[in-house]
Amino acid sequence: MASFDNSTPFMLLARIHVKPGCVDQYLELARVTDKAVQASEPGMIHHTFDQDPDDPQAFVWSEVYANDEAFSAHVSNPPVQEYLQKHAELGDGFSVEVYGTVGDDCRQLMQSFGLPLKIFETKLGYSRV
């Protein structure tokens, strides 16, 4: 069995719901944020923004972090902070699911945002990431 801790990759799904009439603005916000993250965060090893096929106002950020440190860098990145501020204007839902093991400091950081959060702890498996 592999060992999983704060130094191993994990996946985060951020489920977003956009206010009526704001989808185009939100898509532009997501595009700008995605480009900034790609250019400035080497620890973000996968980053996509996917639309729900049943609800055109619902989206999911799928993110794979190299480790806990990469998550900390992400949430302190100015373009991400700007995105979160603009989400408050354009969005009406935001919840987070984490798949994988994160350390206590990372868990506390995630909880500090006050968003609905569910962390699924890894019990077995391996990672080739």
Report the chain's mean pLDDT, rounded to a whole number: 94
Residue 33, burial from CB neighbour count under 10 angstroms (0-12, 13-18, 19+): buried
pLDDT of residue 3: 73
Provide mean pLDDT across the span 46-65.
98
Please say if the pLDDT value at position 1 is more than 50: no
pLDDT of residue 2: 61
Provide mean pLDDT across the span 25-31.
98
Count the Cβ atoms, other than its own, within 10 Å of residue 16.
Answer: 21
**Cα-Cα-Cα-Cα dihedral of 101, 106, 112, 118, to 10°?**
-10
pLDDT of residue 58: 98
Which residues are bridge partners to 46 per DSSP? 64
Question: What tokens were used for 56?
Answer: 């055109």
